[in-house]
Structure formats: C-alpha cells, structure tokens
C-alpha cells in the first residue's frame, strides 16, 4: 500500500494476450487505441491517418474491413503501420481470413455471427497460422434476436450472455488468445455489463462507451463511464468513441488514464479557470501551451495558475510552474521542481515555458538513458 492509499487502484487480474507487439492484460500497461475513418481500400489515405494516430501516441489502431478491396489493402497498411493493426470484421468469415493473411495483428469478430462451425474453424486456423489474437465485441445495439426476445431489451445480463456464448465458441476451438468488450452508448448499461463480465471471466477487457457523441459530450460521457470502471480496476485497453478526429480519441484516452494516475504521456497541465485576480490571460495561455506542447511525449507536470492564492501550493506539486503576480503587475514567478526560481515578465511566458518543458523532457530522457525525439513545436 502506498503512503496515499486513497489514490491506489488495484487492477483486476486477467490473463495476458498479445496484439502484435503490444501486450494486453495481466501486468501490461493499459493500452490506448482508436479506429480510422478513411476508406480502408484507400491504402494511402488510411496510412496517412495512421501516421497522425501514431504521433498522438496510440498503441493500437483498428480499421474496418467490409469488403475484399479493404482486406487487399491491409497488406500495404500493416506493412506501413508502426503500431499493430486490428481488422474489424462483422459477418463475412472470408474477410477475417484475408485480413489475417495480410498482416492483421488482431481480428475484431464475433464467431457466432459468421455462420457454421466449419467457417469458425477456418477463421480460428487462420488466426493461429498468422499469430492473430481476437476481440469479441458485443454491442447493445446489435444483440442477437433470441437474446432480445428473451430479455425484452438490451440489458447487462443479455450482453454478458452474448459475450460468453461467443467466448465458448472460441474455447471449443482451442483458441484462448482473445479479449472481450461489452459496449453500449448508455453509460449505466455499459458499466453494469462490464462489471458482470469482469466477474465472469479472466480474459482481458477492452473498455469503451460506444457512440458516445461529439467532442465535448462524448468526452464527458466516456470519462464518466470508463473512469468509473478504470477506478475500480476494470479495463486492459481502451478506445474513446467520438464523432471527431481519431487523434482526439487518443488524446482523450491518455487524459483519462493520466487523471487516474494509470498511465502518463506528455505534459499534464494543471491550470485554474481564472478570475479577476489573474496576473495574465490564463485561458489563452493554456490554450496555446496545449497546442505548443503536443510534441512532447515524456511524462511531466506543469501548473499555470493566475495568482498567488493557489499558485504556490500547486507549484509545489508539479515539475514546472508559473504563477501570476496579480492583476496589473506584468510578471509572475517561475517554479522549478516545486521551488521558487525566478521572476518572469508575462510577455515572455509562452516561449519560456515551452523551452523549459523541452529542456525538462531532455533531462528526464537522458536520466533514463534515452535520447528524446522532439518534433519541432508547431
């Protein structure tokens, strides 16, 4: 137990599977993934989007494979991608086989949806032959008709039963390299289903609140639903589903994990909402810093506080800080490693803080024996 036991999160014990080079479950870090929204058959457009997703820090990327043109493009896509690629398959078993043959690291597929037992065997064999894991992906919006008739509506029990039915099919085919998700757009339904699933199996769990909405509303809903589960120790890999650029899904995913102290990437900015006491324009400064510091992946903390009421206290807890000196004074205080260092004029704040963060990143990486790769700030 740590000295701050109230911050401890005890993760559910699960078995470990691999998605390409990325371990999921067990003691592996919680991975962050997203999904492309280009036409997969357009390999160049898909690869370009994956490049942006990689730069945002995603561990895994998923692409939809609805047709032969898409699975044919998978060969070029998987060769070009620096992170493992998951092929999203719904009904046609041949698309799963083709995706496995063309480099997919994982198949998102529900074996009960693809037809007879021989088709399932063929898909499982392709997965074994090509080192693919799988994800069973139950969704409240596409539950089996028999379950809906029996339960009357999508409910946690129906979703978990569906997941267990699909899992048994894979187990009966001597295949155990899979993870499971039970997603819903209703956060209450999703949380309850995931809680029941976590009790029923020891497979890794892929977390998500599906079809969560736009950038703001979807972030809020995902943070509440996924945050509750992660805080209780449930979840081995996450995908934030937003009607937004996939890069934003990755950033929100990392922010959720950072907020729960489960995983850190980049600069964690602590900032105040600002008021009449602010010694500089806090809102605009933070907006620009968030954009200017995107290129730093090294975990560190930075506080930007408008005045001395809470500024020095927050500064003590962060690697770097700037606290405003009060309205009209034109300067503030720089803190390094929690201690006051020197005064700085507001007009130099932005450039100086970016420089300090880049220098801090280099120091941290050097102490680890790494050479930081920092892209030029935009």
Domain with residue 78: its CATH number is 3.20.20.20
Boundaries of domain holding 236: 9-259
Q: Are residues 78 and 107 in the same domain?
A: yes
Final residue in a domain of this structure, among 259, 294, 325: 259
pLDDT score of 344 more than 50: yes
Which tens digits make up the pLDDT trace of 330-340? 999 999 999 99
Q: Are residues 330 and 274 in the same domain?
A: yes
Q: Are residues 317 and 253 in the same domain?
A: no
User: How confident is residue 3, by pLDDT bands cut at 50, 70 and 90?
Assistant: confident
Q: Compute CA 124 distance to the chain's CA centroid, rounded to the nearest angstrom.
A: 27
Looking at residues 178-202, what average pLDDT do you find?
A: 98
Final residue in a domain of this structure, among 259, 283, 305: 259
Q: Are residues 171 and 251 in the same domain?
A: yes
How far, in Å, CA of 95 to CA of 110, rounded? 13
Looking at residues 249-274, what average pLDDT do you find?
A: 95
- Residue 2 placed within a domain: no
Q: Give the residue carrying structure tokens 């909405």.
A: 213
User: How confident is residue 1, by pLDDT bands cut at 50, 70 and 90?
Assistant: low
Q: Are residues 156 and 172 in the same domain?
A: yes
Q: Are residues 224 and 104 in the same domain?
A: yes
- Residue 372 placed within a domain: no
Q: Are residues 273 and 251 in the same domain?
A: no
> Which CATH number characterizes residue 324's domain?
3.30.413.10
Q: Taking a C-beta distance cutoff of 8 angstroms, is the pair 322, 349 a contact?
A: yes
Secondary structure letter of residue 7 according to DSSP? G
Q: Taking a C-beta distance cutoff of 8 angstroms, is the pair 332, 277 a contact?
A: no
Give, for 321, the enclosing helix (H) or strand (E).
strand 320-324
User: How confident is residue 378, by pLDDT bands cut at 50, 70 and 90?
Assistant: very low
Final residue in a domain of this structure, among 239, 259, 279: 259
How far, in Å, CA of 82 to CA of 53, rounded? 10
- Residue 4 placed within a domain: no
Give the number of domains in the chain. Answer: 2
């Amino acid at each position: 137990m740590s000295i701050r036991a109230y911050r401890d999160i005890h993760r559910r014990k699960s078995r470990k599977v691999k998605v390409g080079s990325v371990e999921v479950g067990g003691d592996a870090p919680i991975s962050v993934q997203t999904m492309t929204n280009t036409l997969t058959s357009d390999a160049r457009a898909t690869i370009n989007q994956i490049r942006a997703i990689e730069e945002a820090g995603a561990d895994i990327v998923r692409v939809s494979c609805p047709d032969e043109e898409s699975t044919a493009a998978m060969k070029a896509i998987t060769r070009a991608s620096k992170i493992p690629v998951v092929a999203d398959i719904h009904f046609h078993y041949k698309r799963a086989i083709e995706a496995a043959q063309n480099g997919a690291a994982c198949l998102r597929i529900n074996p009960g949806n693809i037809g007879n037992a021989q088709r399932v065997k063929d898909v499982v064999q392709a997965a074994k032959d090509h080192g693919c894991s799988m994800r069973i992906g139950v969704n409240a919006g596409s539950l089996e008709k028999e379950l809906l008739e029996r339960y009357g509506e999508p409910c946690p029990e129906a979703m978990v039963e569906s997941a267990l039915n699909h899992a048994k099919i894979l187990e009966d085919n001597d295949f155990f390299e899979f993870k499971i998700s039970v997603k819903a757009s209703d956060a209450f339904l999703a949380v309850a289903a995931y809680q029941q699933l976590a009790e029923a199996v020891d497979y890794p769990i892929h977390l998500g609140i599906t079809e969560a909405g736009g950038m703001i509303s979807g972030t809020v809903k995902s943070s509440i639903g996924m945050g509750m589960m992660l805080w209780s120790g449930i979840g081995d890999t996450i995908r934030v589903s937003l009607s937004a650029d996939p890069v934003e899904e990755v950033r929100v995913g990392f922010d959720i994990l950072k907020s729960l102290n489960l995983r850190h990437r980049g600069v964690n900015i602590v900032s105040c909402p600002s008021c009449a006491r602010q010694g500089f324009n806090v809102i605009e400064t933070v907006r620009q810093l968030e954009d200017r510091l995107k290129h730093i992946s090294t975990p560190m903390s930075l506080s930007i506080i408008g005045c001395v009421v809470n500024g020095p206290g927050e500064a003590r807890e962060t690697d770097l800080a700037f606290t405003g000196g009060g309205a009209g004074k034109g300067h503030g205080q720089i803190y390094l490693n929690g201690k006051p260092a020197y005064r700085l004029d507001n007009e130099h704040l932005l450039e100086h803080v970016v420089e300090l963060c880049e220098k801090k990143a280099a120091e941290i990486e050097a102490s680890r024996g790494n050479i930081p790769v920092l892209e030029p700030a935009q």
